[in-house]
Every structure is written in structure tokens, then in C-alpha cells.
Amino acid sequence: MVAFCMSSMEHADDRGAKKELRKEHPSGWLYLTQHDAIPILVDALLDLPPNREFNKTELAAHAGVTRQTVGNYTDLLCEVELIEDVPNTSPRRYRVADSDVVRELFELNSALNSVGE
């Protein structure tokens, strides 16, 4: 699939066509960040203490968005392994996932924060 996408990109003549091809075959990064609220939610997750549990209302307050916004993206955040359900909780609680995605995201954030220091 990547080879097809790269081949198609090379043959696209204009920026608009390339942009549309990227939207049709998004990278993991584009898939995640194509939603306006995701960067704010991810930034808020990066700011939480390790193993901190939260519900949608608490994450919304921490991120400075509405509970509905968090609700709109909870499934996506779980799908890409940024957050995970805390079993046997009611109301439903979440935590930052213990995943390669989260570890890499923290590394990227650390590297970006150290630029220019």
C-alpha cells in the first residue's frame, strides 16, 4: 500500500492532487491529527502524571475542551493506543496507555522541547 501511495504521489502533477492522495491514504500521523481537537487532547495527555486515571469530564477539564469533544474522540484515542480503558470502572475511566505509540510520543515531545535549549 505504501509503494502504491508513493508511486501515485510521484505521478501527481499538482499540489491539490497530492494533497488529495495524502487524504485518501493517510499516514498514521495524518490519520490521528486530521481532527482539530486531537492535538489539544494529546497535549493534555502528555501533561498527566503516570498511571493517572481520568473520566471524560476530567480529561475535558484538563484539556480545556468540552466533555462532548472528549467523547467524540475517545474511541480514536483508544484505537491508536494513546489511552486505554481501566477495567471494571463505573463511570468508565481511562488512563494513558502503556504502548509503543505513547513511549514514542513522549520521546518526540521531549526532543521537541529540548530544541534550542
- Round the average pLDDT of the chain to a whole number and report it: 87
Higher model confidence: residue 23 or residue 47? 47
Pairwise CA distance, residues 84 & 86, whole Å = 6
pLDDT, tens only, 41-85: 999 999 998 789 999 999 999 999 999 999 999 999 999 999 999
Of 31, 20, 22, 18, the C-alpha closest to 2 is 22
- Looking at the DSSP assignment, which residues form a beta bridge with residue 54? 94
Q: What is the pTM of this model?
A: 0.77
Q: Is residue 87 packed enough to be buried (19+ CB in 10 Å), middle (13-18) or exposed (0-12)?
A: exposed
Residue 16's SS3 state is helix
